[in-house]
Structures are given as C-alpha cells and as structure tokens.
Chain A
C-alpha cells in the first residue's frame, strides 16, 4: 500500500534544500586573499576577471550609451580631450590644444604627434575629421546613427597634418565636452568604413582605436578579453599611470544573475563586478570587500510627468503627485547611502546644478487638498474619481535603472494613500517601445541620463532628443509647452559659458515650478572590487577605466 512516507519523504527533502539555502545566507565568508592598502606600489602584469551584467550589442561609439558597450569603448578608444570625472575640467588627450570662436560655431583642435592606432596607422587630423563627420552627420545608408552628444554639426576641415577645424550651423557650446565622451571614441579610418553590421558582436576585435587596450578572444554573448597595448604612452597628464596599462589582460565575463556576480566576487572567482544591487552592498562590505559607487553626473533618476495627458494637464494634480511621494522613505527603504536623495532635476555633481528641493517636499495633506481642489474626489474603493473616471496613472518600469520595479512599487503604495492608482507597465520590448511614446498609455516616465555637460538636461527633455515629457506629441508633432523648448534650446546654443549655466538653472527651476518632474536620487554605477584589486576608477558617467588598475601578486 502507498504510505504517507512518500509524501513525508518529499517534505523532508524540500526542507533539507531550504535549510541548505538558509545556511548560504548565514555565513558570507571572508575571502582568502590578503588585503593590502591602496597606497602600495603598482605592479605591472597579471590579469583581472570582471563580471558584467549584459553582453555587448555593438561598439559603434555613438551607440556606446548602452553600458556594456561603453565599458569597452572607454578602454579601446581615446578621445580628443579628457574630462576629469571629479572636477569635470578638461585637459589635453589626443588634442594638445583647442580653441573656438566667440559664438561657438567653429572649433580648432591641434592633434598630438606620434599617436598610432593599434593596427599601426597614425592618428592624424584627417582621421579625426573623418570620425566627427560620421558621428556628427551619421550615415543612414549604412545604418549608422548620429551621436546624441553632438549638436548642429556641419562639416570638418583638415588644416594640416596636426590641425583640424569643425564648423557648426548654429552655436554648439557643448561640443568640447562631446569630444570627451565615449560617444566620440576615435577609431581608425578603416574601422570607420565598416557598415553597421561590422560593429556588432562577433567583430569586436576589428574595432580599432588608439586606447590602452585592444579586444581579443571575443565569444559572442559571453564575454571578451581586453589586452594591454604595451606601446601606449599618450595618457592624459592627470592619470596616475602614464605608461602601458599595468594589467596584461582583463577577462570580461557576462554573468546575468546578480546573486552569482556577488557570490563569485566573495568566493574569490572574480576581482571586479558591476551592478551590485543595493540590497547586496552590505553583504559585500561585511565581507571586507570594497563597494565603488561612481556618480553619473547628469539628470537624476526620477519621473517625468507628461503634462500633455489630460489627467496631468492640471498643475494641481502634478503638484499633488509630488507632495504625495515620500522620496526620503523611498531612498531609505530601497537604496543605500550611495544613492543620494535628489535635490534638483540635476545631480549635485552635475554642471550648472541649482538646489530646488523645496519644490519636492513630502506633504500628503497638501496633496489631498490639491486633488480635492482639482475635482478628483475619493471614490468608494479609495481611488479618486472625476466625471466617473478613476485617477489611474501608468508608469513604465525602467529596466536599466537599479531596482526600478521595487521603487515604483513603493511609490504606488505611497500614492494609494492619497487616492491615486499608479500602475507599473511591464511589457515586451515591442509593446514597451510603443507605449512609452504615447502619453495616453504611459503618463509617467521613469528614466535618467548621465552626461557631464550642461547639454544633458536638453538631451533628456528636448522634443527632438529623448523627449521624456512628450512635450512633442508623436501623433501630430505639436509642441505643448513652447517655453520649455525655448529654454532648453538656450542651454544648447548659448555660447557664453556663464550665460549657459544660467540657462540650465532656469530650466531646472522651470521644471520644478511647473511640477513636470519628480527626481528621486543621484544615480550611481555601483561596482565592487576584491581586496587585491587597486587603482580602479571610472570616467565621468561611470564607465570603468582599466588603465591604472593593478593587482597584488598572489
């Protein structure tokens, strides 16, 4: 006869499994390697295992905004100028000097002598001109897009072997910074002739730059190696390493599961990991490992309230949403101290930042009053209604952003208390791509953008860039708030540096006054390193720089 033992046996096995699992959490052990202080003498040689979250999708520099792409481009391609990630000041890199005319429609760069691409060809003014002709104008026939960072580009002019001049159809004050971003990584002439397909996965080793590393041993979807260029000697002056990279090799391995990345680091299988989730930081530091949070110096992680939607067209409703969200509770519950509470639409470390935190204060009573005044009355189910319509709003889950889903879940709990029903859109890429372009489907847009230039605010909100507010309606191309357009244009086309900063501050204040945005926090890129790894740093939007990284001989 079948006995109860069969079921009990099953139960017992399940319990054992569960206990084994509980055991895992109980003792996060310390690593075997001896730790050393950051001040030791750098060692040349050795290799590092770096765990990435996702595989690369292509190494065309204007498309390097996708994090894994940018992480490679930053290390294989040099830029004309270098932007210090801390001070955000510029210094010479491939260009030894630069100047622009008063209205920022003409830039002249002097190119350093003796720089070569990794295929041996020289990096001269002609190839620099070819780079920016492509990044500034794009080539639709080859499927190659324009760089988002470059505005009003017209043409290039090779003055002599070491001098190149760029012409713009309108003032382009952000161009100097644009030349420092990963989107402007300098590639060899041959590489620039490639069609889009050849920038894709499987061909990474053929993307030739002049950077400290080259790509080798690519395995599509699972990773690649960065190999040091032994003859690299044109690092920016402020880099601690002026010669060849200390490491011989960096093995980049794609490891999609967050728990596996952390576990691999703690058990000594990797030296560096990206995308440490907030809840795992403690586990890392408790085990004596370092967490490295790189600020991204741009538009903060937050919500754009799409005011052209009928429900959000009333400023009182938007103000109520702001007052109904307890941002401090959000940051405290979901994130860590590496995610500072936002005090403006821009990060404190971004250029042109101005404090507007008073506009984002938490005040649920005020929120309720505002909604009452706006005619949204509490319905029987706790959700407010007007003309029989419930106050239901949809926000997108921002998959690339850290813990977007958890954050929005908490926000929807908070808004429920003031009678607002916030739904989170989770959909396949096709449906998602359509829905976020339509304010009737997605009224609130969750996003951020990192770029250490005043232009960043224009990138986020301008109708012809990311257009996160959907100020330009996709259906009829009409503009809802021409004043916002004008203010954003001013940031991108004011030549005078001081006036440009003021223009950015005007936009920040305007966005806060109009209750167009709810910034959450200043988004970092969070890495963790093992104790034997030293000298890790990142560029101005958090892409890793491996040139000065070294490891203890073990």
Chain B
C-alpha cells in the first residue's frame, strides 16, 4: 500500500513537472499567439488597432500570474479557450480525442497482430527458404517514412484499385488505411523483440526435449509466441502511447482526419498555449496511468516475477522497453 501511495505521489509530481516544463517552453518561444493572429499583414490592421486588441486579451499580465492562473484553471477543470480560434479547449479536445484514441488503440492492436504474424511466418518450418524475407521486414518497416507510406497506400488502394474511399469514408472503411499506416512502423520494434525472444527460446535445450517427446513445431511456436508477445506488447503500450499520438499527426494529415496530433501540430505553430497545455496534461495523464497500471499488473502477468522483488520487476520492465 505504501508502495502504491508512493507511486501515486511520484505520478502527480511527474504531471506537475510536465505541465510546468511545457508552460516554460511555450513562453520561451519567439513571438506569441496574439502576434501571430493579429499582426498577420493579411488582416491589414493598424498598429493602434493591434495594441488595443492586445490589451483586450490581457497580454500584459505578468507571466507568473498567468502560470498560476492557468494552473488553477486546470485544477478546476477549466482549460480555457483557444487563442487562435476562440473555441473552448474542452470542446476541441472532445472533438478529437475519441478519434485519436480509436485510431491509436486499433493501430496498436494491428501492430501487435502484424508483429505476431511476421514472427510466426519467420519461424514456420514450411517457409524456411523465405524466412529471411520476413526477418528483413521489421528493418524495412522502420525505414519507410510514415507520410510516404500513407500516400502510397492511398494512391494504390484508393485511387488505383479503388477499393477504399479516402474522402468521407464510412466509419470502418475510414479506419483501414490509417490504422495500417500507423501500425506498420510500430509493429517493427515489436516484431524484432518477438523474433529475438523466440530465437532465444528455441535455442533453449528444453525445446529439443519437448520436441523429442513428440510436440509439433506449431505447438511450440504458438505457445512461445503467445507467451512472449504479451509482456513486451503490454510494456510498450505505456511508452508507445505518446509515440502513437505523435505518429498519428502524420497519418491524420495525410488522411485528413481530425485528431490530437494535428491539433497539437497546429497549436504549436500558432503558439496556442491553452490547447498545448491541455494536450500535455492529457498525454501525461495517459502516460502516468498506463505506467502505473503496468507496474502494478506486472507481477500478475509474469508469474516468474511474482515471487521476486518488485525492484527487479521494474528493472526488467525498463530493459524490455528499451530493448526496442
């Protein structure tokens, strides 16, 4: 219990630190959102008009006060308004978060399936001759730029073969290509871990013993792949989630989907601080929660670790994460 409380306290500290780092980072940028918005020559505003608008927006409030103000606002659940568009940040997030969550979780599931598939194909006795092709796939997958992959998938499947529309697609159709685009680069490190761990396991002498007792290669493979897939996939979920949001920006742009990634990218370019602080808080919360859950569930999922000390469990988790 003390451990859980300690972890919760650390999690809260991480959240506050992430919020503060983001606030400082955003304030340090050249110019500000009002300048980008109103000093755009296309609006043709005179200097006096711009000055009046800046006063109206409270741009002259000292920074520490702004910090405390927005921190208190966030604690009270008030995320403020986008400076650029004036839309409440809550509304913006409500509009994009479900889509991104769906895309990210499906992308993640697809990545795990893809990785398991590659691992099985790379180890199937019947496919030995071309096993190396499958073994090269993960390297290839990480080597292809995501935006390029997305554009090529659209060109081929939507424009040439006309199988799936990209413009106003149905809810299911609209997810196929984006999920694939997102899954490919994420499946690569997973597949690499899997192939390596299966290799390791197949190298253990006990496999030969099992085999000698008459177990087929399928049996060994499915047992091992299944067991070896769950842990790293689960562990990676925590770290990869932030990555998924980042990776999603490209997918979202190419496929014209609304999402947290695109919202973030646009808000950064317009220095729309309220949106960005909310995004940071959101992603930090997701990160902290997933990690907390992973930490607490780790012993449950890996019986070998259950008996040992938790400290070792954590070390082993971190090793697995970075083995990526």
Contacts and interface: CB of A to CB of B under 8 A. Distances in A.
Interface stretch (A73-81, A113-121, A185-193, A214-222): A214-222
A203 interface: yes
Contacts of A437: 39
Contacts of A268: 162
Interface string A127-141: 000000000001011
Contacts of A260: 151, 154, 166, 254-256
Interface string A1-40: 0010111011011100100110110010100000000000
Contacts of B61: none
Contacts of B45: 145-146, 148
Nearest to A12: B133
B191 to A, nearest CB: 14
A426 to B, nearest CB: 12
B128 to A, nearest CB: 11
A512 interface: no
A51 B255 CA distance: 12
Nearest to A269: B167
Contacts, number: 192
A66 interface: yes
Contacts of A155: none
B52 interface: yes
A65 B42 contact: yes
B256 A143 contact: no
A20 B32 contact: no
B295 to A, nearest CB: 35
Contacts of B88: 197, 202
A379 interface: no
B95 to A, nearest CB: 5
A249 to B, nearest CB: 12
Contacts of A62: 43
Contacts of A140: 49, 52-53, 55-56
A145 B49 contact: yes
Contacts of A27: 160
B30 A3 contact: no
Contacts of B167: 49, 51, 253, 255, 264, 269-270
Contact of B31 (A6, A148, A433): A433
Contact of B41 (A195, A199, A264, A466): A466
B132 A202 contact: no
B258 interface: yes
B95 A434 contact: no
A440 to B, nearest CB: 15
Contact of A264 (B92, B139, B159, B253): B159
Contacts of A266: 159
A57 B46 contact: no
Interface string A397-439: 0001000000000000000000000000000111101101100
B121 to A, nearest CB: 12
A203 B87 contact: yes
A176 B196 CA distance: 75
Given A201-B85, A430-B29, A430-B36, A6 B41 contact: no
A61 interface: no
Contact of B263 (A143, A221, A263): A221
Contacts of B42: 65-66, 400, 449, 466
Contacts of B81: 197
A467 interface: yes
A69 B127 CA distance: 57
B84 interface: yes
Contacts of B262: 221
A9 B253 contact: no
A459 B256 contact: no
A202 B155 contact: no
Nearest to B82: A200
A428 B168 CA distance: 31
B44 A14 contact: no
B315 to A, nearest CB: 30
Contact of A428 (B56, B135, B269): B269
A79 to B, nearest CB: 19
A433 B82 CA distance: 19
Contact of B32 (A23, A197, A430): A430
Interface in B289-311: none
Most buried by A among B35, B43, B96, B262: B43
Interface string A254-295: 111101100110111110000000000000000000000000
B283 interface: no
Interface in B132-153: 132-133, 135-137, 139-140, 143-144, 151-152
A401 to B, nearest CB: 11
B86 A197 contact: yes
B91 interface: yes
B20 interface: no
Interface in B47-79: 47, 49, 52-53, 55-57
A468 interface: yes
A13 B159 contact: no
B181 interface: no
Nearest to B35: A433
B323 interface: no
B154 A58 contact: no
A433 B254 contact: no
A340 interface: no
Contacts of A203: 87
B266 to A, nearest CB: 8
B36 A6 contact: no
A23 B159 CA distance: 12
Contacts of A257: 151, 253-254, 256
Contacts of B57: 143
A202 B137 CA distance: 43
A381 interface: no
A69 to B, nearest CB: 11
13 contacts: A63-B43, A143-B86, A145-B43, A200-B82, A202-B95, A220-B92, A255-B167, A269-B166, A429-B271, A434-B31, A464-B47, A465-B44, A474-B47
Given A260-B166, A263-B159, 14 more contacts: A7-B136, A9-B130, A9-B133, A14-B140, A140-B52, A148-B45, A202-B85, A202-B92, A257-B253, A430-B36, A434-B35, A466-B41, A466-B42, A474-B47
Closest 4 CB pairs of A and B: A430-B31, A197-B86, A148-B44, A200-B86
